[in-house]
Chains A and B, each alone.
Chain A
Amino acid sequence: MTTASIPTRLAQHLARWFFAPQSPKILAAWRITTNAWTLYYLAKRWKLIGRTASGDPRNFRPIGLARPLRRPLPPKAIEATTTLNYATTTLAGLGAWYRVTGPLNSLITLWTLTYRNSWSMVFHNDNTAVLHHAVLGASPAADAWSLDAIRSPHGVTGPEPSWRHGWPLHAANALTAATYFVSGVAKLRGPLGWRWANGEHLRSQVAVDGIRKTALRPHDTGPPRPLIALLDRHRWSWTAFATGSLALELLAPLALVDRRIGRLWSISAWSMHIGIKAVMNITFRYHLSANPYLPFLARTRT
């Protein structure tokens, strides 16, 4: 074997993996679950989005797509774009006129969540959902199980498995893994470096979060959390939790190497968010829904 053939073989292996044929029904199922979750998420936030858009303009800190704005838009305009977002999410979920509604929905969802995050605090749990919508919007995700498919010559079950229905799932997995990897590197680049893994910082973070809730939501603090008391009786468990989280983030790219590793990693990542919810009462809504990890469960045809 020549040295020049190694990159070539690697590229061929990567191409075989990335362009492996997949059933259009798998991608369609993920289109339906992703849009159903987004519709539920945004519908529950109608009042919150409206109130946020009516907030003190001095708290407006435009980011991303909203950055060119010098001042907040009129709340009525945000109500209109949010209503439009409900419509596009519904149509994309149903797979109606998807060549238009798919890309449009990914853009409008990006807009709605960017504007909502432009008021002093960025909620990082929305990032992955927006990235997944971008993938779905650029892919033929309505080739099956959609209103478009009913009208097509292939019928509701769609055409034969093809690379066109496989790459979006691999792209989504790669983006998911990349977000975790960046998050892990951020912890190492923080003031503690590798010492983040000893768990002391995580323990302090849990306390800071609990104290903030006590101060800002005095009537919602609820009873003492027995899980925190249990963790604190066994201080090594903070180290285990922190080390496990950091390893999960830094090793996320390995989830792309092998389907079984991908499945194990995705279940572990989901479990981590359940743990964060149980211990810190921080809700990563999209991640807790398990939807971001569904593409890792898809069986690849070779």
Chain B
Amino acid sequence: MIIETPRQAATATAVGLVAVLAPMINLWRASPRDSFPLSHYPMFSARRGAHVEVSYLCGVRADGSRQRLDSRLAADGGMNQERKQIARAVRRGRSDRLARRVARRLDGRSLHGDVVAVEIVTGTFRIEDHFERPPGAIEPVDIIVAARHAVPKRGAS
């Protein structure tokens, strides 16, 4: 509907503004749920400690060494959506299934030929490492393996 009168224009704008401002109520709630396109914009406001945990994919080579794998092998929707989906799989005990699916993808697409197994891991990283080391040299200070699955036909247990 195209707005035709000043009263309609003023009302529509007032309603729009109230709708955009209303999600601020969530900021006074214990566990608010975000929405779209009316949001309380929770990004960048959570407390950060000295460490951060990230769940991600690792490929394991025959000699036992690890290499990180791109999260697009496990999920879709952009990096942050992939991150949330992998973390949720770990939280809800679905990481075995995810590891199996990624292992099959590596086999099916002939990717990372030296990788014999796929792990879903949760790494704990030091925040300061981001400023003290080059991106490729940042390693977790602790790592928990949530699931491991051999890549078919690549001879790992």
| Interfacial residues of chain A within 102-150, with CB under 8 A of chain B in the complex | 102-103, 110, 113-114, 116-124, 126-127, 130-131, 134-135, 138-140
User: What is the bound-complex CA distance between A286 and B51, given in angstroms?
Assistant: 32
Partner of A191, one of B46, B68, B92: B46
| Contact A103 B1, CB 8 Å, known A19-B6, A52-B81, A186-B40 | yes
**A232 — which chain B residues lie within 8 A by C-beta?**
131
Does B152 interact with chain A (Cβ within 8 Å)?
Answer: no
Give complex CA distance A106, B100 in Å.
41
CA of A81 to CA of B42, assembled, Å: 29
| Interface-side segment among A28-36, A55-63, A85-93 | A55-63
Known: A174-B13, A212-B79. A138 touches B130 (CB 8 A): no
Query: In chain A, residues 142-195, which have Cβ atoms closer than 8 Å to a Cβ of chain B?
Result: 163-164, 167, 170-171, 174-175, 178-179, 181-183, 185-187, 189-192
Chain B residues with Cβ under 8 A from A103's Cβ? 1-2
- Of A198-206, A265-273, A291-299, which stretch is located at the interface? A198-206
Known: A59-B75, A212-B79, A215-B123. A138 touches B20 (CB 8 A): no
Which residue, of B36, B71, B78, B82, has the highest number of chain A Cβ atoms within 10 A? Answer: B36
What count of chain B residues pass the 8 Å CB interface test? Answer: 67
Taken together as a complex, chains A and B put the C-alpha atoms of A182 and B26 apart, in Å, by 11
* CB-CB nearest in chain A for B97: A56
Residue A213 CB within 8 A of the other chain: yes
User: CA–CA, A178 to B41, complex, Å?
Assistant: 11
Q: Is the CB of B17 within 8 A of A174?
A: yes
A123 near B78 with CB under 8 A, answer: yes
Q: A18 at interface (Cβ–Cβ under 8 A)?
A: yes
In the complex, chain B residues whose CB is within 8 Å of the CB of A216: 54, 56, 68, 70-71, 79, 82-83, 86
Main secondary structure on A side of the interface with B: helix
Contact: B13 with A171, CB < 8 Å? yes
**B36: contacting residue among A122, A179, A196, A219, CB under 8 A:** A122
Q: Is A264 interfacial (CB 8 A cutoff)?
A: no
B24 contact set on A, CB distance < 8 A: 182, 185-186
B88 contacts the other chain (CB 8 A): yes
The 8 A CB mask of A237-273 against B (1 = contact, 0 = none) is: 0000000000000000000000000000000000000
Q: Size range of the interface on A?
A: 35 or more
Q: Name the one of B37, B80, B81 contacting A126, with C-beta atoms under 8 angstroms.
A: B37
With the chains together, A210 CA to B129 CA distance in Å?
10
* Complex CA–CA separation, A87 to B3 (angstroms): 23
In the complex with contacts A55-B75, A134-B16, A122-B35 CB distance below 8 A: yes
Q: For the complex, is A217 an interface residue (Cβ under 8 Å from B)?
A: yes
Residues of A within 8 A of B77 (CB): 48, 51-52, 55, 116, 119-121
Q: Does A278 lie at the interface of the complex (its beta carbon under 8 Å from any beta carbon of B)?
A: no
**Among candidates B45, B56, B127, B134, residue contacting A224 with C-beta atoms closer than 8 Å:** B134
Q: Which residues of B contact A130 (CB under 8 A)?
A: 36-37
Q: Which residue of chain B lies nearest to A118 when distances are taken between CB atoms in the complex?
A: B36
A-B contact list, 6 entries, CB within 8 Å = A18-B9, A121-B80, A163-B9, A186-B41, A187-B45, A217-B70
Binding site for B on A (CB under 8 A): 15, 18-19, 48, 51-52, 54-56, 58-59, 63-64, 67, 98-99, 102-103, 110, 113-114, 116-124, 126-127, 130-131, 134-135, 138-140, 163-164, 167, 170-171, 174-175, 178-179, 181-183, 185-187, 189-192, 196, 201-202, 204-208, 210-224, 228-229, 232
10 closest cross-chain pairs (CB), A and B: A190-B45, A204-B48, A207-B130, A221-B135, A218-B68, A189-B27, A121-B81, A183-B41, A216-B71, A51-B76
